[in-house]
Amino acid sequence: MRVLAIVVRIIRQFFRDKRTLALMIVAPMFVLLLMDLVFNGEEYKPAIAVSEHVPEVVVDKLKEAGANVKELSAKQARKQLDDQDIDAWLDMSGSAPHLTLEGSDPTANQAVMAAVQKAFQSMAPKPPFQLKTTYWHGSSDMASFDYFGPVLIGFFVFFFVFLIAGVSFLRERTNGTLERLMATPLRRWEMGVGYMIGFGLFTTIQASLISWFAIDVLDMMMEGSFWYVLLITFLLAMTALALGMLLSAFANNELQMVQFIPLVIVPQVFFSGLFNLDTMEQWLRSLSVIMPLTYGADALRDIMVRGEGFGAIAVDVYVLLGFTLLFMLLNVVALKKYRKL
């Protein structure tokens, strides 16, 4: 009977906490749905540009091999390689075909090489020439970890700052510290900014150490400026900090704060660049515009893999700043639950 009493108490506790009960059922199904949509997308088709010197028969064979093919001049091809609008450019003006790979995505590189080799082998089992290959970004030695690494840096910074900030701010509230501050003449925005700066000092140190460890200790590819990496990781940390503080206002304990992870963090993993967005449906791909991690990961790849400067990451910087300011403003509004001034 005593065991039964414990069982009954646990059941009643779950039914009193309806959010926990709902998330136990809804969250796994939500994540599985996302995985189904992401992994059952379309097959990736490499975008290959060709020069005017490539024969029509080669173009037809490339299309049969599953590539999207268009004709571009050398100047146009360089521009679209810079903008990542094409995966490769094929030129046959010399004695041997010359393939220029965009190079920053190993998966796309493999798809291009497979399509080109299949096209040439379908015309002649043993082509009488050696395909010359160069890389616009990266190199033949680039590993998958070099491509996924920038995304992982952004993810770990965002995830741990979000979780630690949310739980810490929640404890400030449950321990009565926030209520005591509310009794002072401090305004809500002053409290929000104060907490952001206070927590931000430690999150900045954390983001800097993660970036240093990945680049210097793990020897991750680094083509651009380390200071730009620090800028993006700092902005990601600030965005996660503001979001964690905001959502902590709607949690009553640490468990409820952790429950936000499958709804807030996990979806961002699928849209951060770990999986190719081009294989997803258009409506699903459009969800990436509301994911802060998408912009952080894109900027980190531009810096670390492509060696770009501020001009290439400016939009990502401004969007992350916008997310931070938006979450801070919403956090100030959420503090109305505790005091109206």
Nearest-angstrom CA–CA distance, 95 and 340 = 77
DSSP state of 45: -
Q: Encode the chain (341 residues) as per-residue pLDDT tens digits.
A: 667 777 777 777 666 766 666 667 777 777 787 777 777 767 788 888 888 888 888 888 888 888 888 888 888 888 888 888 888 888 887 767 888 888 888 888 888 888 888 888 877 666 656 788 888 887 777 777 888 888 889 998 898 888 888 888 777 777 776 667 666 666 767 777 777 777 778 888 888 888 889 888 888 888 889 999 999 999 999 999 889 888 887 877 777 788 788 888 888 888 887 777 777 777 777 888 888 999 999 999 989 888 888 988 999 999 999 999 999 888 878 776 655 44
Q: Are residues 155 and 287 in the same domain?
A: yes
> E strands of the chain, at which residues?
47-50, 68-71, 88-91, 98-101, 132-135
88: which strand partners?
A: 48, 101
Q: What range does the domain containing 100 cover?
A: 47-135
Question: Structural domain tally of the chain?
Answer: 2
Written as one string, the DSSP assignment of 242-291 is HHHHHHHTT-SSHHHHHTTHHHHTHHHHHTTTSS-GGGS-HHHHGGGGG-
pTM of the model as a whole? 0.79
Boundary residue ending a domain (135, 169, 202): 135
165 and 218 inside one domain: yes
CATH number of residue 59's parent domain: 3.40.1710.10
Query: Are both 159 and 290 inside the same structural domain?
Result: yes
The whole-angstrom separation of Cα 140 and Cα 88 is 14
Kindly state whether residues 87 and 190 are assigned to the same domain. Answer: no
d(C-alpha 301, C-alpha 308), whole Å: 9
